[in-house]
Structure 1
């Protein structure tokens, strides 16, 4: 049976991901002076940490090709402050949610789910969750739709910090995690967008490292051991995310799922991913 953490992840992640899939957040960041997509991405996602070195952001984000983060951090802070970036990101995300959700954006279900989600988001343990901890230091929006997006972002990054812990414990680095995700999704590694920055030789080196450990075969497909390890990583990620929801009663979890299901459906239908 699907765990509560897994079920709610499927509902919260689409809310958070308007930050990446919708035009409005990118437009708000570009209005601050960022050109293209990636400078605004790195500025917005790392802004809760303040102006920290590229090495810190690289370690926390975990799965970027060496040099990608340093191409933007810390130079992005010459364009705008973390505070201005955070405000632009939230403004753009709420605008995008309102456009996509239409009349649903102002329903009692949004206000109700925002309160339940925020309760869980603030109940989650902070220890070892550095990106989540940075987000926890930010003020919580009052407006229900903004509050729901902020809660979804907290829960997503809390889960993400736990996922990084699971990957590190399994000995899987960032690029290897992309290869495993590609295979799980039924794709060839070269078809997986986040592996695009790697040259063919670099990608083959990553795959060969997994092959040596018996996780992929000569055709760059899962071995039984590789599939098992990937499942174990996901299970541990769910386990580490679960404490956030212990503050909610079963009927509240049922209500949250009922309220967020149509929200997630609309967002997924609108997503270009």
Structure 2
């Protein structure tokens, strides 16, 4: 569907469903289980951090940003006793490609998907990498030859590029990782914010302390809803995130940008309809 969103936001709307197969489809979990990572979160931390190599859990915690203290350390470096980063990375790609092929069907072997993979890759390798560790780690990897794998890899690079920028935007506003989840939950209409799936498992005392901190800064009110200041803070973060995500597309001619949107729309549409599952 046509969109009036800024280009970076529109591109996020289009490539995010490609990335979501990693979280919502069975095939990536099955691929990780096949190499010995039978716990979902073992697979998550191994697969996503694999481009970094065997770095300490504290480094992964810092770069992933939004996980609570100790969550990365429950999985890292333990997962590397079972698999290598290279094995985890390959399994992640195999699972995601299999999921994409299943969901998009005949589109997987179409000229349109191959063109989308080429153009998205051009965008994904066109941005500066300074200050973007997750993006730089993925960009240092070889680009797959097979079109569906190339599409997945390009989308993953762009997601981490945007994520690195989002972290910078949050830090600039003094928003911590768990706080960012609370603000996101409220923006999505989830109330109470503590019930959000990404944080609801945390100790109640930890969640209460985060909410009290947001109240003390006048970002939420006594009932746990946005204040005007909190809503404005969230809007500034999202606007800056969009601006920081523009670089991959700056080098594309306007006609090429339009073509990229056009070839991604049918692929993304199928994935959205399926819930990327």
TM-score, structure 2 as length reference: 0.96
Aligned twin of 1:231: 235
Equivalent in the alignment of 2:67: 64
Counterpart check, 1:205 vs 2:181: no
* Alignment coverage as a number of residue pairs: 273
- Which position in structure 1 is the counterpart of 2:182? 179
Q: Could you tell me which of 27, 30, 34 is aligned with 2:30?
A: 27
Is 1:250 the counterpart of 2:254? The answer is yes
**TM-score of the superposed pair, with normalisation by structure 1:** 0.98
The match for 1:93 is 96
For residues 112-159 of structure 1, what are the alpha-carbon distances to aligned partners after superposition, in whole Å with 9 as ceiling and x for unaligned? 111111011000110000011110111000111110110000000000
Match in the other structure for 2:54? 51
CA distance in 2, matches of 1:264, 1:207: 36
> Runs of 4+ in structure 1 displaced over 2 angstroms?
none
Q: Pick one of 151, 154, 170 that aligns with 1:151.
A: 154
The CA distance in 2 between the partners of 1:120 and 1:128, in whole Å, is 18
SS in 2 for 1:197: coil
Give per-residue Cα distances to partners, 1:215-243, cap 9 Å, x unaligned: 10011000011000100001111111101
Question: Shift of residue 204 of structure 1?
Answer: 1.4
User: Over aligned residues, Cα RMSD in angstroms?
Assistant: 1.1
Q: Distance in 2 between matches of 1:205 and 1:196?
A: 14
Unpaired segments ≥5 residues, structure 1:
none
Q: What does residue 199 of structure 2 align with?
A: 195
Which piece of structure 1 moves more, 54-63 or 198-207?
A: 198-207
Distance, in Å, in 2 between the alignment partners of 1:119 and 1:257 is 13
Aligned-partner SS, 2:267: helix
Number of the residue aligned with 1:14 = 17
Aligned match of 2:266:
262
8 Å CA contact retained: 1:215, 1:227? yes
* Secondary structure, counterpart of 2:198 in structure 1: helix
Q: Residues 34-62 of structure 1: CA distance to partner in whole angstroms, max 9, x if unpaired?
A: 12200010000000000000000000000
Q: Does structure 2 retain, via aligned residues, the 8 Å contact 1:43–1:85?
A: yes
2:114 aligned with 1:105: no
Q: Unaligned stretches of 5+ in structure 2?
A: none
Aligned-pair CA distance for 1:272: 7.0
Instruction: Determine if contact 1:65/1:197 at 8 Å carries over to the other structure.
Output: no
Contact kept? 1:25, 1:92, Cα under 8 Å = yes
